[in-house]
Amino acid sequence: MTARYVRKARRTGAAALLVATLAFSAAACGGDDDGGGQDKGASSSTASRDSGKAQSKSDGTPETGTVLATVKGDAGVEMVITSATRDSGGFVTVNGQIKNTGGEVYTTPVQWGGEEEALADADRSFAGMTLVDSKAKKRYYVLRDTDNRPLTTSGYEPSIEAGATLTFFAQFPAPEASTHEVGVQFPGFPNATIEISG
């Protein structure tokens, strides 16, 4: 074996080792807890937005099969809450669906977006939803991002066709760790009591 061949083999081995080391480093950095300098609320809300959009099967039933509460609203619509999960970042994310069980098109009310003037020009949203901790006598409103946009499903169509489903999510500040049950209040629906998991 010539010295030239040995040098070439060593260079090839060193290059392969360097590539493997860089790949391992990139994978390790990808799991960094601080999100690579991004705002934790923003990254959490993005994940929740994505999960909120994919919570139902083609027939409109929740993928998990769990239902925390079902309440009937006006004009033949139902609100079905499928999960309320507390995460380590201090948020509670509520997922669910609005089902039009009636025989006519349902026009979504503007009250769903909340009554705050700051949201008057915003897209249609679920910012009017609140969580109520009756024992602690506290009400929790939908969180906002740095541009004052509510961290909830928004920009949906102004109407829901008969038999159709609108999947939603909404993020709130987490109640005290000892609180496991809250009420959900949303315009046009009676109060729904749900259990927080996590």
Read out DSSP for 85-98?
EE-TTSEEEEEEEE
What is the average pLDDT across 72-97? 94
DSSP 141: E
**Closest C-alpha among 183, 169, 186 to residue 52:** 169
- At residue 64, the pLDDT reads 52
- Determine the Cα–Cα distance for residues 186 and 179; give it in Å rounded to an integer: 20
Contact between 131 and 175 under an 8 Å Cβ cutoff? The reply is yes
Query: Count of CB atoms within 10 A of residue 86's CB?
Result: 18
- At residue 198, the pLDDT reads 82
The CA-based angle 77-167-127, given to 5 degrees, is 85
- Residue 40: partners with Cβ closer than 8 Å, 6 or more residues away: 34, 89
Contact between 95 and 55 under an 8 Å Cβ cutoff? The reply is yes
Q: What is the pLDDT of residues 131-167, one digit of tens each?
A: 999 999 999 999 999 888 899 999 999 999 999 999 9
Torsion of CA 38, 42, 47, 48, to 10 degrees: 160
Distance of CA 163 to the CA centre of its chain: 24
- Better-scored residue on pLDDT, 64 or 6: 64
List the structure tokens of 17: 């080792």
Report in angstroms the alpha-carbon separations of 6 from 3, 9, 31, 95: 5, 5, 38, 62
- Better-scored residue on pLDDT, 105 or 198: 105
List the structure tokens of 23: 């790949």
Confidence band for 115, pLDDT divided at 50, 70 and 90: confident
Give the CA count within 13 Å in the CB-facing half-sphere of 158. Answer: 2
